[in-house]
Structure 1
Amino acid sequence: MVIDNVDRNYLMFFDGDMKIYYNDIFEALCYANIEKGDIIFVHSDVSVFGKLGNIRDRDKFLGMILNAFKEAVGPEGTIIMPTFTYSFTKGETYCPETTPSTVGVLTEFFRKQNGVARTIHPIFSAAVWGKEKAYFTEGLSKDSFDDDSIFGKLRKKEGKLVFFGVDFHAMTFLHHIEQKHGVPYRYMKSFTGRIKVGDKEYEDTYTYYVRYLDKNVITDASRFERYMLGRGVLKEVKLGYSAVKVARSNDIFDIGYELLNKDIFFFLKDKIMI
C-alpha cells in the first residue's frame, strides 16, 4: 500500500480548470486536524470530488488516496475503514477473507492490502492498518455497538471520525450513541448465521440494535452535523466539489448524548409515536 517517492503533483480529480492533486488531498487531511499518531475511522465516497484524474489505473488512484491517509497519520497512526457486509441480516455466510465490502470501492480496496486485518463481524466488519491493529481486531464484542465493539473501542482510544466526501448520514457511530443512551425507537435483535475463516466454518450469533420497521424510523443526521459545525467541533475543509470533515469520536459521543437528553428524537427526520 505504501507508495515510494510519491508524485505530489499526481492529478487525482479535475473538472475544467478545477484540478486536485495528491498534495491537495494530503494538505486537506492535515488542515482538517488529522495529526501524526491519530487513530482515524474513515467513511468515504471517492466519486464526489470531481472527475477521476486517472481512471485507467484504478489501483494506483486508490492507492494514492490511501497513501495520503497513511502520510497524514504517520507510522504511529492507525487507519480503520468500514467493510460492512450485513451478511447475517441477509442469511449469508460471512468470510472475512473473501466477502466483499458493501460500503464503497475504497473500503474494498483497502481491506485487500498487505498489512491490513479485518474483523470477524458478520454485519459490521472493519479493516484496520497501523499501530493499534491488534487492539481493534482482537477481543471484540459480538454486539454491534456496545463498549467492546469497534465503535466503543474507537471512543476508548479517543479516535477521530473522518468523512471523506460524505456527510453525517454515513456515520454508523451514531448507533453507538443511540444504544448507549437507550433510544426507544430501536431494540436489540439477535442474528445467527455461519462464519468461515480459512478451512473452519462455524455457527455464531451476533446482536444488532435495529430500528422498529413499523414505526417509520428514518435517521436524519443533518441537524446534528450542522450543530457540530456551528460549535466548531467538526472541522470542514473544502476539496473540489465536496469536503473533508473530521471530529473526535468523544466529542461526537458527548454532544450527541446531550442532544438526545434534550430531544430523544434528535437523530430522526420526524418524531414518532412509541
Structure 2
Amino acid sequence: MYTKQELKNMIKEMGIESTDTLFIHSSMKAIGEVVGGADTVLDSFMEYLENGLLILPTHTWANMSESHNVYDPKKEPSCVGVLTNLFMKREGVVRSLHPTHSVAAYGKDNIEYIKGEEEITTPCGIGGCYDRLRERNAKILLLGVNHSRNTFIHCVEEILQVPERFTEKPVLFKIVMPDGSIKESMVYRHYNRTTAHISETYTKLEQAFYDNNVAKKVKFGDATCILCDANGIFEVTKKVLSHQINCLIELEEIPREWWI
C-alpha cells in the first residue's frame, strides 16, 4: 500500500514543481492500494503544490439536460470520478460556475482563476478556465487515463474553430450564483453527427505529443500516467490540424509527417 510520502515523492519524480499549475484528470482505481484511500491521494497533491495551483474537473455534462437544468455548484455532483467529488468539498477549494464543464481549484489565485465561467457559452470557451491553462504555463496530468479524457484538447479545438463540434442550438441552464440568485445561461453542448464521443479521437495525437516532447510517460502509484505541457499540446495540435482542420474525425490515422 502506498503512503502519502511515497506519493509525494512520485510527484516530485515526475518533474512537477511546488509552484506549478497542475490540472489532473484521474482514475482512482488505477492508482492501486493507498493508505487512507482517495483522501490521501488528494492530500499528497494539495500539500505538494502548497505554492502552486491544483485544478480538477468537476464536470456535470452527464447530469445536466433540458429537464435537469439547474446547476448548483454546492450540490451538483461531478460525473468524472471519486477524486473530483471529494476535492470540490474540501476546505479552501472553489468551484467554477460553468453548468456543464466546471472545475475546482485550490491554491494560489484560485478564486481569480475560476471567475467568469457563468458567462461562457460553450463547453471549453476562449477566455475560460481551460484556456487559462496556457496563460499559466500549466501542466496536465492524465492519471491512469489517456488523451480521450484530456478536456484541454476540446478547448484547443474551440480556439482553432474546428467545425461540427456543437449542438445546433444552445440549451437553457439556470446557474445558482453565490448570493443565491439565478442566472440564466444559454450554452452549446458537444455534438458531432458521426461520433458519440468526440474526445475518443484525441488518442490519435498521442505519438505526436511524445515525438515533440510535450508529453511524457510517468508513474503515480500503480497508474501509468501522461504528464503534458499545456502550451505544447496546443502548438502540436494546431500544427496537425493546420493540414486538415477536422482530421481527428475524418481520418483513421494522422500522417506522421504532419507533426515532424
Task: Determine if the TM-score, normalized by the shorter chain, exceeds 0.5.
Answer: yes
- Indicate yes or no: 2:245 matched with 1:268: no
- Indicate yes or no: 2:70 matched with 1:91: no
CA distance in 2, matches of 1:155, 1:128: 16
CA contact (8 A) 2:173 2:187 kept: no
CA distance in 2, matches of 1:234, 1:134: 28
Q: Which moved more, 1:78-87 or 1:228-237?
A: 228-237
CA distance in 1, matches of 2:178, 2:15: 39
Deviations along 1:43-95, one digit per CA (max 9) or x if unpaired, are 00010133x345xxxxx422211122123322x20111100112543532111
Q: Given the two structures, how large is their TM-score scaled by the length of structure 1?
A: 0.81
Q: Residue 98 of structure 2 aligns to a residue in which SS?
A: coil
Deviations along 1:190-230, one digit per CA (max 9) or x if unpaired, are 221222246734241243362233x3364322221222123
Shift of 1:262: 1.8
CA distance in 1, matches of 2:67, 2:162: 27
Deviations along 1:131-181, one digit per CA (max 9) or x if unpaired, are 120221213342332222111112122211111111111111111111111
Shift of 1:98: 0.7
Aligned residue among 178, 192, 205 for 1:212: 192
CA contact (8 A) 1:233 1:247 kept: yes
Q: Residue 89 of structure 1 aligns to a residue in which SS?
A: coil
Q: Residue 224 of structure 1 aligns to a residue in which SS?
A: helix
Task: Show structure 1 runs of 5+ residues with no match.
Answer: 1-10, 13-20, 55-59
- Indicate yes or no: 2:56 matched with 1:81: yes
CA distance in 1, matches of 2:14, 2:216: 6
Matched AA of 2:176: K
Change (3 A) 1:201 1:88: farther
Q: Which residue of 1 aligns with 2:44?
A: 68
Q: Which residue of 2 aligns with 1:175?
A: 154
Change (3 A) 1:240 1:160: closer
Q: Which moved more, 1:204-213 or 1:119-128?
A: 204-213
Task: Show structure 2 runs of 5+ residues with no match.
Answer: 253-260
Q: Which residue of 2 aligns with 1:22?
A: 4
CA contact (8 A) 1:169 1:220 kept: yes
Matched AA of 2:120: K
Q: Which residue of 2 aligns with 1:57?
A: none
Change (3 A) 1:198 1:249: closer
Larger radius of gyration: 1
CA distance in 2, matches of 1:43, 1:35: 18
CA contact (8 A) 2:177 2:183 kept: no
Matched AA of 1:61: G
Q: Residue 178 of structure 1 aligns to a residue in which SS?
A: helix
Shift of 1:37: 0.8
Indicate the structure with greater strand content. 1
Q: Describe how 1:91-170 pairs up with structure 2 within 5 A.
A: 91-92=67-68, 93-140=70-117, 141-143=119-121, 144-170=123-149
Matched AA of 2:96: T
Q: Residue 80 of structure 1 aligns to a residue in which SS?
A: strand
Q: Which residue of 1 aligns with 2:256?
A: none
- Sequence identity percentage: 26
Aligned residue among 231, 243, 250 for 1:250: 231
Q: Which residue of 2 aligns with 1:190?
A: 170
Root mean square deviation of aligned Cα: 2.3
CA contact (8 A) 1:78 1:133 kept: yes
Shift of 1:247: 1.4
CA contact (8 A) 1:41 1:80 kept: yes
